[in-house]
Structure 1
Amino acid sequence: MIPYQPIAAPGAPLARRNPVAKVAAALVVSVALIATVDPVAPAVAIGFELAVVPLFGVGYAALARRAWPLLASALGIFCTLVLFAAERTGTLLWQVGPVEITTGVLVTALGMALRVIAVALPGVLIFATTDPTDLTDALIQNVKAPPRFAIGALAAFRLVPLLALEWQMVSLARRARGIEAGRNPLTRLRLFGSTAFTLLVGAIRRGTRLATAMDARGFDSGTPRTSARRQQFTVADAALVAGAAVLASGALAVSVALGTFRPLVG
């Protein structure tokens, strides 16, 4: 089952911050790092992000368990760019048949892989340290998001573990009927597609019922709603966003100072 509950220590200084402030800080870092494709800026940002992990009350082992799909994605991007890059500039380092690995390709691939990690890691930290209900309350109170949208998103997020459980149930039911892929990769791929389609149909039906139930409870009536738990945006929350801006600016400044800055456009 996919975990969604926060795993942070309750008294951690950054874990206690307003959820909107944490999301805003992650967006600031992400937007800044998207502006460059060099490996230095995201590497510096990753160093800062890993340094503040204890302030979120999360252990590095627990973070690794949550972030392993991110690391696998970054590795896949790196290998794909190294093997299939269209432009192969720089010094030739290794060649096997038609595949040529050059310094330019390695720098570009490393920059893209590190940027994926640097941009996504703050999001992993946010969802590992934030209760989904608190995030919904903060979006409604501090960002003035429509309750229909915010609470609908919360309900969908709560259903993610249910989809994982249904995937297991469908797979076990097919196995009980003797439908197995065995060691055939094509059959395994076909079964994966059919199982995914089954879950998609079930998710659409469940989403339709959920939307009808929300409308029946007045979520689309336009009547002002009250909140049971207040989410205050304090000076400390603003300092978190400002600190994220300083972090992003520092990473770009190091890249510019070392002469490795490569803008995404231009």
Structure 2
Amino acid sequence: MSSESIAVSRPDRRGTGRTAVLARANPISKLGGVFLLTIALVLTVDWVSAGIALVCELVVLPLAGVSLRTLLLRGWPLLAAAVVGGYGTALLAADSGAVVLEWGFISFSEGSLAAGVAIMLRGLAIALPGIIILASTDPTDLADALAQKLRLPHRFVLGALAAMRLVGLLLAEWQVLGMARRARGVSAGGGYAGRIKASLGQSLALLVQAIRKATRLAMTMEARGFGGAERTWARQSRYSRIDLWVACGSVLVTVLAVGSAVAAGTWNPVF
């Protein structure tokens, strides 16, 4: 099952080409690497550490099967949110240093611009690893790893797996509902107010469909014994040499980002 979104697309598991490298890594090692890098980025607000981390993530991006063009086409909301966050920070931050731009009561100084750029890069550097993981990880592999390696409760793991599988169905259902409503002329005309009203109605219809699908899925899983105390696994979740490279790479990127910020004098702990 696949969807048009980067975050839920199935990774290439054939073992050939660059796209299969991160797909063969254990999901736990990828989650650990992202957690380590995220902690380092959350503890500071500076553009050096965030910029270096972002560059390293863009280099790794093709190994997840996501090209830069695909990221820009489908991940533009992420970029837009980062730009808006950076602009808002630069606008509200206290002025320090020379004034770079002044327009009426709005002014941007060197300090406020540096803070805005730092927040923008930091947001992108924190969000991009999530896209890399989800684009290179099969939901079933993730569920197996969470249950076998982290010993999480089976009900929680299987519920999360069902939710990830349903994301693609809901995206397709949204498109079907939109085409059906346009065919009946429900969303035609009305300007922006009409479009907002039509979107709210379509969202309510999608919510009803999601509840129905979740109910049927829950009943089916319960009937097939997914809620049992003891479970067996069709395939074992194992670590490989690739996981070692993932762990070493995550540590290297984290140390490089933090060390460069400290050496450049831009390290700015949030505490």
Whole-angstrom CA distance in 1 between matches of 2:88 and 2:195: 23
Query: Residue 90 of structure 2 aligns with which residue?
Result: 82
The question of 1:115 aligning with 2:122 is answered yes
Q: Which amino acid aligns with 1:255?
A: A
Provide Cα deviations, 1:200-244, integer angstroms capped at 9, x if missing partner.
Answer: 23223322332233223222232x211111121245424422431
Q: Structure 1 pair 56/160, CA: closer, same or farther in 2 (3 Å)?
A: closer
SS of equivalent to 1:161: helix
The question of 1:38 aligning with 2:46 is answered yes
Whole-angstrom CA distance in 2 between matches of 1:82 and 1:9: 46
Q: What's the CA shift for 1:86? A: 5.3
Provide Cα deviations, 1:78-128, integer angstroms capped at 9, x if missing partner.
Answer: 233334x25344332222233222222211111111111111111111122
Instruction: Verify the 8 A CA contact 1:10 1:57 in the aligned structure 2.
Output: no
Q: RMSD of the alignment, in Å?
A: 2.4
SS of equivalent to 1:95: strand
Q: TM-score, normalised by structure 2?
A: 0.86
Provide Cα deviations, 1:20-55, integer angstroms capped at 9, x if missing partner.
Answer: 111111111111111111111010111222223344
Aligned identity (percent) is 40
The question of 1:264 aligning with 2:270 is answered yes
Out of 5, 27, 34, the residue aligned to residue 10 of structure 2 is: 5
Q: Structure 1 pair 167/185, CA: closer, same or farther in 2 (3 Å)?
A: same
Out of 229, 248, 261, the residue aligned to residue 254 of structure 2 is: 248
Whole-angstrom CA distance in 2 between matches of 1:103 and 1:17: 43
Out of 192, 202, 209, the residue aligned to residue 202 of structure 1 is: 209
Instruction: Verify the 8 A CA contact 1:8 1:58 in the aligned structure 2.
Output: no
Q: What's the CA shift for 1:178? A: 2.3
Query: Residue 142 of structure 1 aligns with which residue?
Result: 149
List alignment gaps of at least 5 residues for structure 2.
none
List alignment gaps of at least 5 residues for structure 1.
none
SS of equivalent to 1:179: coil
Alignment of 1:1-266 (within 5 A): 1-3=3-5, 4-7=9-12, 10-11=15-16, 12=18, 13-56=21-64, 58-83=66-91, 85=92, 87-180=94-187, 182=189, 184-222=191-229, 224-234=230-240, 236-265=242-271
Q: TM-score, normalised by structure 1?
A: 0.87
Q: What's the CA shift for 1:66? A: 4.8
SS of equivalent to 2:108: strand
